[in-house]
Amino acid sequence: MPRGPMMTGEFVHDLDKKGFGIIRTRPTERAMSQTAKTLGDRLRMARAEVDGTGWLASSDLLRIDQLERPETPVYVGLGCLAPPRGGGALALYDGRLAGRSLISRHGALRGTRLTVAAGPTRSPRSKHSLMSFDQRHGTVLRYRSPLDGDVVDGPLPDDMDETRFHEVVGSAVREERVLVHNWNPGDFLVIDNRAMLHAFCPSTGGRGEFVGVRFSFRGM
C-alpha cells in the first residue's frame, strides 16, 4: 500500500499549492497501478490511465504537455521501478511564477504563439500560446526547449529574434526551479500538468525504468 499523506488533505494541498507531490510505494508495476487508482479516486479524476512501463531517457530539455489538446491530462504521474544510474534526476519548474516574471520584464511576449513539431504524444504539429490562463492557477507559462521543426509564430519585440526569445524564456523558467528529485525505487511523483514544466537531468550510467500515469477529468 502507498505510504505517506496521500489519504489525507496534506498531499492534495501540496499538489494544488506546490504543483507536485511525492508518494512512496512498492517498486512494482502492480503497486504503482494501485497507487494510481487510489490517487485518482482521491483527486476525483474520472480516468487514471497507466501508460505501462518503459525505460525513460534522460535529457536536459524543458518540457510541458500541450494544454489546448482535449486529451491532455490534468496531472501526470511517474513511478520509479529502477532509477537511472549516474544522474537522471527530475527537475521541476513553476510555470506560474515563470509566467508572471517573464511578463513583468517582457510584456510584449504576452501574445506570442508557438508552433510545436511532432512528438510521441502529439499530433504532427500543434499551435499554442506562450501564456495560458488557467481557472485555478491564473497565468501560466507553457514552453519547451526548441526542437527541429518548432517555430515561434510571434509577435516578438523588434529587438528580439527567435534565438534571443529562447534565451529569455529559458532563463525565466530556470529561475523558478522548485525541485530536483533524485529517484529511488518506489518513488511516485505526481505533477500538476497545468502549472509545472519539467526536465530530466542527463545520466551517465544508463536509463531508469518507470511507470507513467495520466490523470484526466471525465470527457478528456
What digits encode the pLDDT tens for the residues 10-66? 788 888 899 999 989 999 999 999 999 888 888 888 777 887 666 555 555 555 544
Is residue 210 located within the same domain as residue 152? no
Residues 46, 21: one domain?
yes
Binned at pLDDT 50, 70 and 90, residue 1 comes out as very low
Rg, C-alpha atoms of the chain: 17
Whether 85 and 102 map to the same domain: the answer is no
Diameter over CA atoms, the chain: 56
Query: 199: which 3 cell numbers?
Result: 526536465
Buried/exposed 30-49: b ≥16 CB within 10 Å, e otherwise: ebbbebbebbbeebebebbb
Q: What is the pTM of this model?
A: 0.86
Q: Which domain holds residue 199?
A: 10-93+176-216
Is the per-residue pLDDT at 118 higher than 60? yes
Same domain flag for 25 and 89: yes
Q: In this structure, are residues 29 and 81 in contact, taking their beta carbons and an 8 Å threshold?
A: yes
83 and 121 together in one domain = no
Task: Give the count of beta carbons closer than 10 Å to the beta carbon of residue 16.
Answer: 15
Rounded-to-integer distance, Cα 213 and Cα 32, Å? 9
Same domain, 114 and 89: no
Are residues 101 and 88 part of one domain?
no
C-alpha cell at 68: 489546448
